[in-house]
Amino acid sequence: MKIALLAASEGVEQVELTEPWQAVKDAGDVPSLVSTERGDIQAFHHLDRADTFRVDDIVGEADVAEYGALILPGGVANPDALRMNEQAVQFVKSFFEAGKPVAAICHAPWTLIEAGVLRGRTLTSWPSLRTDIRNAGGDWVDEPVHICRAGRSVLVTSRKPDDLEVFTSAFTKEFAFAAL
């Protein structure tokens, strides 16, 4: 199954991109980096520049039907840029409309808020998003990983890089189940 990892052209937290990428590969699936621009994206280690990564597809041309699931890595700047891009927001919203599983970590729920998909859902995130999530109609919990089944889709969320091991374990299981 092909899995989209959505990141803005700059600002993604590198470990929140690379560890889920590797987990997707380890599960036998195919990761694909989708972004707002062609070329390479610039990742960060918190506030310091890290590596660059080649974009496989851009949101304006990406077809949600080609993907079985979506992963939203965090970083503070990444989801803030994504939520300002209408095509990225629609790309995210389309996964929920299609009933496909979505996973988001750290600050990534900012993009989910902008997509208007949190009402009635329970999720976790970086703690500073708690009020934003509640204002968007979601219920925030402080857990390393939370799986919410609401409507036709599954949302797997996690708080921070320290939770990556349980996050990747949870979303790979949910993605495999959804593919059946």
Domain range for 129: 2-179
Sort residue 120 into left (φ over 0), alpha (ψ -120 to 50) or beta: left
Q: Is the pLDDT of residue 149 over 80?
A: yes
Distance of CA 62 to the CA centre of its chain: 16
How far is CA 168 from each of CA 24, 66, 172, 173, rounded to the nearest angstrom? 8, 21, 6, 9
- Catalytically annotated residue among 45, 46, 107, 146: 107
- Residue 172's domain is classified under what CATH number? 3.40.50.880
For the chain, the residue count is: 180
Q: Classify residue 14 as exposed, middle or buried by CB count within 10 Å of its CB (0-12, 13-18, 19+).
A: buried
Q: Find tokens 């703690």 and name the residue.
A: 127
107 tagged catalytic: yes
Look at the chain and report how many structural domains it folds into.
1
Q: Average pLDDT for residues 106-120, to the nearest whole number?
A: 98
Q: Average pLDDT for residues 46-51, to the nearest whole number?
A: 95
Percent of the chain with pLDDT over 90: 96
